[in-house]
Amino acid sequence: MNLPNKITLTRIFMIPVFVLFFYLDVMDGWNYLIAAIVFVLAAATDALDGHIARSRNLVTNLGKFLDPIADKVLVATAFILLLTRMEAFYAPFYIFNGGSVSAVLDASYAMTVVAGVCVALIMARELIVSGFRMVAAERKLVIAADKLGKVKTTCQDAAIAFLLVGLSFSGSTAGQAIGFIGIVLFFACTVLTVLSGVNYIVKNRQVLTEEKGETQAHSDGSAADTVSKAANSAGGVDGAVEPYYIKVLAAVIKYDVVSLSMIQRKCDIGYIKACRAVEWLEKSGYISSFDENAKTRTILFTKEDFEAKYGDIDKYGEQNECLILSRRGSRREIRGHRPSQQ
- 324 closest CA partner among 245, 271, 249, 274: 249
3-class DSSP state of 222: coil
From CA 141, how far away is CA 340, in angstroms rounded? 8
What's the one-letter identity of residue 47?
A: A
Cα within 13 Å of Cα(41), Cβ side: 15
86-138 pLDDT, tens digit each = 777 766 666 555 555 555 555 666 778 888 999 999 999 988 888 887 777 77
Query: Which DSSP letter does residue 211 get?
Result: -
**Length in residues, the chain:** 342
Cα within 13 Å of Cα(74), Cβ side: 32
Q: What is the pLDDT of residue 40?
A: 94
From CA 86, how far away is CA 237, in angstroms rounded? 57
From CA 121, how far away is CA 152, in angstroms rounded? 13
Which residues in 43-63 are b (16+ Cβ under 10 Å) and which e?
bebbeebbebbeeeeebeeeb
Query: CA dihedral in degrees (252, 254, 255, 258; nearest 10)?
Result: 10
Q: What is the pLDDT of residue 144?
A: 66
Q: What is the pLDDT of residue 240?
A: 54
From CA 166, how far away is CA 77, in angstroms rounded? 18
CB 193 within 8 A of CB 152: yes
Q: What is the pLDDT of residue 67?
A: 87
Q: What is the pLDDT of residue 91?
A: 62
Query: Which DSSP letter does residue 300 get?
Result: -
Domains, the chain = 3-208 (1.20.120.1760), 221-341 (1.10.10.10)
**Residuewise pLDDT in 10s, the chain (342 residues):** 888 889 999 999 999 999 999 988 777 778 899 999 999 999 999 888 888 887 887 878 788 788 888 989 999 999 999 988 877 776 666 655 555 555 555 566 677 888 899 999 999 998 888 888 777 777 666 666 678 888 999 999 999 999 999 888 877 888 888 888 999 999 999 999 999 989 888 877 777 765 443 443 343 344 444 444 444 444 444 445 677 888 888 888 877 788 877 788 778 887 778 888 888 888 888 888 877 766 677 888 887 788 788 776 666 643 444 433 333 333 343 334 344 433
288-299 pLDDT, tens digit each = 887 776 667 788
From CA 334, how far away is CA 314, in angstroms rounded? 23
Is the dihedral angle over the CA atoms 211, 213, 218, 223 positive or is it negative?
negative
